[in-house]
Amino acid sequence: MYKKILILLILIITIGCAKRGYITGGEKDILPPTVLKTTPENFSTNFNSKEIIIVFDEYVKLKDVSKNLIISPPLKNRPDITPYSASRQIKIRFRDTLQSNTTYSLNFGQSIEDNNEGNKLQGYRYVFSTGNYIDSLSVSGSVKDALNQETDKFVSVMLYEAGEQFNDSIIYKENPRYITNTLDSLTTFTIENLKEGKYLLVALKDKNNNYKFEPKSDKIGFHKELITIPSEEKYDLVLFNEVPNFKPVRAFEEANNKIVLGYEGNPENKKIELRNGNQIIETKISKVADKDSLNIWFKPFEADSLQLAVFDNDKLLKSYTIKRKEKKQDSLKLALKTSKRMYFKSNIVYNSSTPITKFDASKISLLDKDSVKVDFTTKYDSLLQNFEVIFQKDEKQKYYFTLYPEALTDFFGKSNDTITTEFSTQNYSDYGNLKLIMQNLREFPVIVQLTDNNGKVLEEIYSEQENTVEFFNILPNMYNLRIIYDSNRNKKWDTGNYLQKLQPEKVIYYPGKIDLRANWDVEQTFILKE
């Protein structure tokens, strides 16, 4: 009896002292999937299969394979890749007939990852040759944007073989011989498994992913001369947008006194002629804001149709017949383009809805807060239709600006009504000053720019011989700083042109940010390394 009671007590104590436990999944998987087998074997020669099978040690899935998979040389048709769900193997089935005696590489980039944790198999490559050896040469370098600090992602870098049929227009018509891609994280490139020879080296931000250069949509970078492989040189490619050749696109009557002409390229120095039969009509030309279009203004009159012709150096580019319809006529309106709280470097700017042809300064008044007249000059940008009032501004001051009737008269004889606007300035101490010392400048002149993160120019100085420039009364901000070598001395940055073998003007960025605060005087040395 006592023995049974003792055994029962021991069982109760044992159960009461037992600790609760939990089943764990072990350590988190941080390893990428491993390739166990490929059929045919990776780096096979005399390849004649229509299908490749890649087997992994765990379930994998493909992510953004259309973006990441780079096949070199490119195929006319993308291969079928299955399955679409998680699996231990990937099948690639070719839809093209492969070229003979050619080394192919399939670079999967970051598209292969395990199914559970998303661990990526970085840059897995499957290489094979339809001949009896694998080409083993390579070329490498870097890609950067010509003007912007950030370089585009997914830039294609391509080689075109300089054979008997080669010419510069090949990039518009043919696929490259070899290709790689910077994908979404690199600004460097390496093209591998190349054969010996001469090549054209080109980089494309290929919007349509068709391996063809389309100037209206694609950025391009190129090495000016053909390169010879093998080569130990590192090639630096600079991406830029070309300015396309000028081309009139369409023309239509938008108002009873205006025709709109859409275009591509640069309309500077192009002649536009409007006729009613044999009679040339007087016109004024201005640009449509934020559009590749021109306003062609004319005084209204009765006519069933008008003839519009566009010339380049007296060569007719295109002509249009404009059918007239009943439309309203634009009237004169003035819109203030600047803030009423004035920055010391800004001026009063009004945009006119119609072209201004006459100014009467006696009907324009600018007074300070003590009603003292302030001297001013005026400037009119006929292309943008901006009327600017330029004057010296004092700190902590108020200005009263008035346009009296008939101060401005437009192309159609219409004048403004009275407009009165109050402007004010702040203290000099609300702004900062920057003294920039530039070392190792290779040439003059240079354009020195302060920009925001989107590349918008906020301040600019043009220096023809001075290594030191000073920005005064600058709004407090974090700025990017860049220097442009103005090689053609036209006081603006110029892009490149592929067919003319012109590279864009050199741009060098200061490696950090310029922190400019209120009431600060900053002195910054910039040692240029390029």
Neighbours of 308 (CB within 10 A): 22
Measured distance CA(129)–CA(121) in Å, rounded: 23
Q: Per-residue pLDDT for 152 more than 50? A: yes
- The CATH code that applies to domain 35-129 is 2.60.40.1220
Task: Give every CB contact of residue 492 below 8 A, 6+ residues apart in sequence.
Answer: 447, 486
- What 3 state SS string does 227-254 have? EEECCCCEEEEEEECCCCCCEEEEEEEE
pTM value?
Answer: 0.85
Q: Per-residue pLDDT for 362 more than 70? A: yes
Query: Could you tell me if 154 and 186 are in contact, meaning their C-beta atoms sit under 8 angstroms apart?
Result: no
Average pLDDT over residues 275-298: 96
Region at 427 (left for phi over 0; alpha for psi -120 to 50; beta for the rest)? beta
What the block records as the tokens of 429 is: 């101490």
Question: Is pLDDT larger for residue 1 or for residue 93?
Answer: 93
Query: Could you tell me if 451 and 474 are in contact, meaning their C-beta atoms sit under 8 angstroms apart?
Result: no
Task: Output the CA torsion 212→215→220→223 (10° steps).
Answer: 80
Measured distance CA(43)–CA(46) in Å, rounded: 10
- Alpha-carbon Rg for the chain, nearest whole angstrom, is 34
Query: Could you tell me if 285 and 295 are in contact, meaning their C-beta atoms sit under 8 angstroms apart?
Result: yes
Going 28 to 34 to 36 to 37, the CA torsion angle's sign is: positive
Q: Per-residue pLDDT for 84 more than 60? A: yes
Average pLDDT over residues 239-252: 95
Burial class (CB in 10 A: 0-12, 13-18, 19+), 257: buried
pLDDT at position 435: 98
pLDDT at position 66: 87
Neighbours of 160 (CB within 10 A): 21
Region at 455 (left for phi over 0; alpha for psi -120 to 50; beta for the rest)? left
Burial class (CB in 10 A: 0-12, 13-18, 19+), 126: buried
What the block records as the tokens of 322 is: 């404009």
pLDDT digit string (tens) for 41-64?
A: 999 999 999 999 999 999 999 999
Q: Per-residue pLDDT for 15 more than 50? A: no
Give me the residue spans of the domains in the chain.
35-129, 137-239, 247-323, 334-426, 430-527
The CATH class that applies to domain 334-426 reads: mainly beta
Of the candidates 463, 467, 430, the one whose C-alpha atom is nearest the C-alpha of residue 446 is 463
Would you say the CATH fold of 430-527 matches that of 35-129? yes
Q: Per-residue pLDDT for 10 more than 70? A: no
Q: Per-residue pLDDT for 488 more than 50? A: yes
pLDDT at position 354: 97
pLDDT at position 164: 86
Residue 456: band (very low, low, confident or very high) from pLDDT cuts 50, 70, 90: very high
pLDDT at position 59: 95
Q: Tokens 């009139």, residue?
A: 248
Residue 21: band (very low, low, confident or very high) from pLDDT cuts 50, 70, 90: very low
pLDDT digit string (tens) for 192-220?
A: 999 999 999 999 999 998 999 999 999 99
DSSP for residue 65: H
* Mean pLDDT of the residues in the chain: 93
pLDDT at position 6: 47
Average pLDDT over residues 175-188: 91
The identity of residue 427, as a single letter, is N
Q: Per-residue pLDDT for 405 more than 70? A: yes
Query: Could you tell me if 184 and 128 are in contact, meaning their C-beta atoms sit under 8 angstroms apart?
Result: no
pLDDT at position 26: 55
- The CATH code that applies to domain 247-323 is 2.60.40.10
Average pLDDT over residues 438-463: 96
Residue 407: band (very low, low, confident or very high) from pLDDT cuts 50, 70, 90: very high
pLDDT at position 184: 85
pLDDT at position 27: 65
What the block records as the tokens of 69 is: 């998979």
| Superfamily for domain range 430-527 | Immunoglobulins (2.60.40.10)
What the block records as the tokens of 339 is: 């803030």
Q: Which of 29-33, 116-120, 241-245, 290-294 has the lowest mean pLDDT?
A: 29-33
pLDDT digit string (tens) for 124-136?
A: 999 999 999 999 9
Q: Per-residue pLDDT for 302 more than 60? A: yes
| Superfamily for domain range 137-239 | Carboxypeptidase-like, regulatory domain (2.60.40.1120)
Question: Is pLDDT larger for residue 334 or for residue 530?
Answer: 334
Measured distance CA(255)–CA(237) in Å, rounded: 47
pLDDT at position 326: 85
Q: Per-residue pLDDT for 7 more than 80? A: no
Q: Per-residue pLDDT for 259 more than 70? A: yes
